C-alpha cells in the first residue's frame, strides 16, 4: 500500500467554485452560473508516494505546490478527487477524525519555521506531541532526542531568536521527528536559508531519512534541490503534472519541452 495516494485532485478557488463546478475536457471550468475559467490551482493531479521515499513536488511559484500539500494533510478540501493516507481517504473523514489521523501520521515543516518565539527550543520541538496529548516528561524526552538527531544537543533552553536561520529550521525538523509520524510534509522548508546552510540541511535530511526511513513529501521551486533530494520528482506546471520520474528520468528523458527547458538549468 502506498503511504500517500492522491487521485484526480482538483482544487478550484473562487467564490462560486463549489461542488457545482463543471470540469471541461480542455481544462477550463464552468461554474454553476455559467462563468468559464474559474481559477484552478490544481488540475487532475494523481500520484502515489511509497513508504520510505522522498517524493519531491517541484514547480514555479504559483504552480499549485502549497495548495496540493494542504490537500494532502486535510487543511484544504479538494474540489474533487481523493487523498488516501495509508489507505484511508481523508476527504471522507469528519473534522475530529481528520485531526486525530493527522496528529498521528503527518508532520509539517514550514518555510518560515513557524516556531513559538517565547518558548524554548526544547518546548518548540515538543509541540507536535503536546497537540497529541503526550505527557510532559515523555514529550520533552522525545524532543531532546530529536534535537540530538539534528545536531542541536545543548541548545534546548535557548529561545528561537538566539539561533541562526539554519538552526531554527533544524528545530522545525526536530519537531517533526519528535512527533514520530511516518509522513513529513516539507513546504519550501529550505528556501529561506543561505545556499551553504541549505546544502548542509539537504545532506542532513538525506542522512536522517536513510536511517529513520520517513516518507517525505518535499516541496521546492528549485530543480537542483529536487534532483539532489528526490527519489522521485513530480514537476507541476500551472496546477498540472508535467512529469513524474526519478532525477535520472527527468534529466535524460524529459516528457515535454517544458521539463526539457528546466533541465537545461541543472548544475
Could you tell me if residue 140 is left (phi over 0), alpha (psi between -120 and 50 degrees) or otherwise beta? alpha
Q: Which of 23, 56, 65, 237 binds ligand ADP (CB under 6 A)?
A: 65
In the list 59, 74, 128, 172, the residue contacting ligand ADP (rule: CB under 6 A) is 59
- Residue 41 interacts, among Mg ion, ligand ADP, none and using kind-specific CB cut-offs from 5 to 8 Å, with ligand ADP
- Considering only 29, 45, 57, 66, the residue that binds Mg ion (CB under 5 A) is 66
Nearer to ligand ADP, 64 or 172 (CB): 64
**Cβ-based nearer residue to Mg ion, 130 or 238:** 238
**Is residue 61 near ligand ADP by the rule CB under 6 A?**
yes
- Measured from the CB atom, is 224 or 246 closer to Mg ion? 224
Q: Which is nearer to ligand ADP, 111 or 246 (CB)?
A: 111
- Which member of 12, 41, 178, 193 binds ligand ADP (CB under 6 A)? 41
Scanning 60-68, 74-82, 195-203, 243-251 for contacts with Mg ion by CB under 5 A, the matching segment is 60-68
Q: Beta 4-12 vs 80-85: how paired, if at all?
A: antiparallel
How far is it, in rounded angstroms, from Cα 38 to Cα 28? 8
Size of the site for ligand ADP (CB under 6 A): 11
215 is a contact residue toward Mg ion (CB under 5 A): no
Choice from 49, 64, 105, 128 touching ligand ADP (CB under 6 A): 64
Task: Please say which residue, 152 or 242, places its beta carbon nearer to Mg ion.
Answer: 242
Residue 1, C-alpha cell as written in the block: 500500500
Q: Is 62 in the site for ligand ADP (CB under 6 A)?
A: yes
How far is Cα 79 from Cα 258, in angstroms, rounded to an integer? 27
Q: Of 35, 145, 218, whose CA–CA distance to 156 is shortest?
A: 145
User: C-alpha angle 244/217/231, rounded to 5°?
Assistant: 50
Q: How far is CA 176 from CA 41, 128, 143, 186, 235, in A?
A: 27, 7, 9, 10, 25
How is 239-259 classified by DSSP, letter by letter? TEEEEEE-HHHHHHS-SSHHH
Distance CA 62, CA 67 (A): 9
Residue of minimal Cβ distance to Mg ion = 66
67 binds ligand ADP (CB under 6 A): yes
Smallest gap from Cβ 23 to ligand ADP, in A, equals 16
Q: Are 191 and 222 in contact (CB under 8 A)?
A: yes
Place of cell 510532559: 136
Binding site for ligand ADP (CB under 6 A): 13, 39, 41, 59, 61-67
Amino acid at each position: 500500500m502506498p503511504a500517500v495516494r492522491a487521485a484526480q485532485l482538483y482544487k478550484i478557488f473562487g467564490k462560486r467554485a463549489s461542488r457545482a463546478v463543471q470540469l471541461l475536457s480542455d481544462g477550463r471550468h464552468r461554474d454553476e452560473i455559467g462563468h468559464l475559467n474559474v481559477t484552478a490551482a490544481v488540475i487532475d493531479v494523481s500520484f502515489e508516494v511509497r513508504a520510505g521515499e522522498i517524493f519531491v513536488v517541484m514547480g514555479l511559484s504559483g504552480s499549485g505546490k502549497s495548495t496540493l500539500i494542504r490537500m494532502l494533510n486535510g487543511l484544504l478540501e479538494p474540489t474533487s478527487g481523493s487523498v488516501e493516507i495509508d489507505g484511508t481517504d481523508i476527504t471522507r473523514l469528519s473534522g475530529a477524525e481528520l485531526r486525530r489521523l493527522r496528529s498521528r501520521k503527518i508532520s509539517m515543516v514550514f518555510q518560515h519555521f513557524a516556531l513559538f518565539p517565547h518558548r524554548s527550543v526544547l518546548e518548540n520541538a515538543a509541540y507536535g506531541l503536546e497537540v497529541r496529548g503526550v505527557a510532559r516528561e515523555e514529550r520533552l524526552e522525545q524532543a531532546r532526542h530529536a534535537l540530538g538527531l539534528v545536531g542541536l544537543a545543548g541548545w534546548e533552553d535557548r529561545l528561537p531568536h538566539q539561533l541562526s536561520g539554519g538552526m531554527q529550521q533544524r528545530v522545525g525538523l526536530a519537531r517533526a521527528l519528535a512527533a514520530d509520524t511516518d509522513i513529513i510534509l516539507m513546504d519550501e522548508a529550505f528556501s529561506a536559508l543561505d545556499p551553504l546552510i541549505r546544502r548542509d540541511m539537504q545532506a542532513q535530511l538525506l542522512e536522517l531519512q536513510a536511517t529513520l526511513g520517513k516518507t517525505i513529501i518535499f516541496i521546492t521551486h528549485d530543480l537542483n534541490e529536487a534532483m539532489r533530494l528526490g527519489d522521485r520528482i513530480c514537476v507541476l506546471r500551472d496546477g498540472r503534472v508535467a512529469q513524474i520520474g526519478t532525477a535520472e528520468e527527468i534529466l535524460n528523458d524529459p516528457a515535454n519541452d517544458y521539463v526539457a527547458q528546466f533541465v537545461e538549468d541543472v548544475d
